[in-house]
Amino acid sequence: MTHSDVVVVGAGLAGLVATAELVAAGRRVTLLDAEPAASLGGQAFWSFGGLFLVDSPEQRRLGVKDSAELALADWFGSADFADDGSDRWGRAWAEGFVEFAAGDLRPWLYAQGVRWFPLVQWAERGGYLADGHGNSVPRFHVTWGTGPGILEPFVRALLDARRDGLVDVRFRHRVTGLVTTDGRVTGVRGDLLVPDTVERAVPSSREVQEPFELSASAVVIATGGIGADHDLVRATWPASAGQMPARMLSGVPDHVDGSGIAAAAASGAAVVHEDRMWHYPEGITNHSPVWSRHGIRILAGPSSLWLDADGNRLPAPLFPGFDSLGSLRHITGRGDDHSWFVLDKTILGSEFALSGSEQNPDLTGKDMKLLLERVKPGAVGPVEAFAQKSDEFLWADTPAELAAKMNALSGSDRIDADALERTIVARDRQVETGLGKDPQVVATAMARRYVVDKLIRVAKPHRLLDPAHGPLLAVRLSVLTRKTLGGLHTDLEGRVLRPDGEVLPGLWAAGEASGFGGGGVHGHRALEGTFLGGCLFTGRTVGRALGA
């Protein structure tokens, strides 16, 4: 039986970073993944590449005044950590991550060739009081090259180490259990799956070729969360927030099923905060799906009206881009499986972006000529193409026509045409004043004080019923599963704990499988840009701790 210093389970971003650090420390590593080689890098490949950075040169050049103290206050205001001791390690990891985001994160990646789009975006604006949820300033730094750009140095390091015989990379190895000896994790067991030549993230065969078992001095679980298992998502969603709908979209490939967490739990690992999740309410069906129920998230600016399934506006401050989880809980609390954005052609052109590397070929391909198209009037190419191809983008010249199309798509009569027109007219009257009392209108006007929002992200306030900005548009939004905020309970080195709080010897965890650190570094809410960053931080921490 093959023996390694460390077996790393999962070849996503966290697993790659941990492997790179371990190899640099002279450890012999075996890296396992159930998917074919084409899926190396996991979910990170498909991401927009956003990183939560604090007091960065990019922020300072834009006049943004940020600090580690402000970022930590925002984090704690969003996380709402429990005071019963269950969030002890999550809180400690949060403090460490903010310090990392304000310190080593950028220079560490910069030294490896990573660069960022200079216009910092403002995600999760919150809209609550100063000590509540949300980013007080823009912190979402989009990587030049998006998700693949973040993966590149770690994939390169893996290939170099593999060439030099320092790491054994084995694809199609699905881990189903851990091997324990006298209470210590001493290896892994599982199934060698039949070879499969499917492209990246396309569902692969689960036919078993033969069992396997490997021994190791330590095992690192870096297998991600549960987002593709909709039954499990529904079962663990907190009852206090209603229930997840029967129809949902997936923002992650099929193999993101929580199997690594389950295998660790079966061997005595503690799993905490399972009911904390980060899913999105702004999902749209991918007209060209790669994986099952493939959905894309709309990254919307603040001007669109957000309506529930009955056509009522979501309550303040549940505006586009302000509080993702609050909006989701409002929708699931009503028992709905959809909501709506109502806007016009001008807002679409100024404010809509689509999350994901494949939906942003200019940033992903590092194409400067294509990138310059973003500052021109009208929607960027992928957004415009998606709007033309998707049957969830509904165009109309009048509110009555729009209501009819919304009802036809949903198969109901829940949208009243007269009520929809009254809602739009009431909003337009607020815009016409140049001031207004409507908190969304006020927040939208305030957003344009930030130069990036004014330049490329927030449309100049105008009436939706002004024909010069038409036609009207409604977009049906669905729940899009994405991230698991809870996970394997770990200490500050990434060592997995048992339910009694003691270390489970030989087992470590990184990335989403560990709740991005401590079994829940985000608490109840995330500030965005912290998922890739959490994989980088936990992978580096675990790799260095084991390497030492």
Please give the backbone phi and psi of residue 456, each rounded to the nearest 5 degrees, phi first.
-135, 0
319 and 446 in contact (C-beta within 8 Å)? no
The answer for 315, left when phi > 0, alpha when psi is -120 to 50, beta otherwise, is beta
**Topology at the third CATH level for domain 4-128+136-223+485-547:** FAD/NAD(P)-binding domain (3.50.50)
pLDDT in tens, the chain (548 residues): 679 999 999 999 999 999 999 999 999 999 999 999 999 999 999 999 999 999 999 999 999 999 999 999 999 999 999 999 999 999 999 999 999 999 999 999 999 999 999 999 999 999 999 999 999 999 999 999 999 999 999 999 999 999 999 999 999 999 999 999 999 999 999 999 999 999 999 999 999 999 999 999 999 999 999 999 999 999 999 999 999 999 999 999 999 999 999 999 999 999 999 999 999 999 999 999 999 999 999 999 999 999 999 999 999 999 999 999 999 999 999 999 999 999 999 999 999 999 998 898 888 888 887 777 776 676 668 888 899 999 999 999 999 999 999 999 999 999 999 999 999 999 999 999 999 999 999 999 999 999 999 999 999 999 999 999 999 999 999 999 999 999 999 999 999 999 999 999 999 999 999 999 999 999 999 999 999 999 999 999 999 999 99
Burial class (CB in 10 A: 0-12, 13-18, 19+), 471: middle
CATH 3.50.50.60, the chain: domain bounds: 4-128+136-223+485-547
Query: What is the SS3 string spanning 327-371?
Result: HHHHHHHHCCCEEEEEEEHHHHHHHEEECCHHHCHHHHCCCHHHH
For the 291-357+391-479 domain, the top CATH level (class) is alpha beta
Q: What is the pLDDT of residue 370?
A: 79
Per DSSP, 488 falls in state: E
Please give the backbone phi and psi of residue 274, each rounded to the nearest 5 degrees, phi first.
-60, -25
Give the number of other Cβ atoms within 10 Å of residue 344's Cβ: 24
354 strand-pairing partners: 298
Q: What is the pLDDT of residue 247?
A: 97
What helix, strand, coil percent values describe the chain, rounded to 5? 35, 25, 40
256 and 348 in contact (C-beta within 8 Å)? no
252 and 482 in contact (C-beta within 8 Å)? yes
Alpha-carbon distance of 52 to 50, in angstroms, equals 7
CATH 3.90.700.10, the chain: domain bounds: 291-357+391-479
Q: What is the pLDDT of residue 382?
A: 84
Q: What is the pLDDT of residue 378?
A: 67
Q: List the structure tokens of 395.
A: 């165009």
Q: CA dist 452 to 117, 456, 458, Å?
A: 12, 6, 9
360 and 46 in contact (C-beta within 8 Å)? no
Single-letter amino acid, residue 419: A
Residues near 372 by Cβ (< 8 Å), separated by ≥ 6?
none
Query: What is the SS3 string spanning 4-53?
Result: EEEEEECCEHHHHHHHHHHHHCCCCEEEEECCCHHHCEHHHHHCCCEEEC
Q: List the structure tokens of 488.
A: 């394997």
269 and 516 in contact (C-beta within 8 Å)? no
Q: Which residue has the tokens 């919307």?
A: 300
Q: What is the pLDDT of residue 28?
A: 96
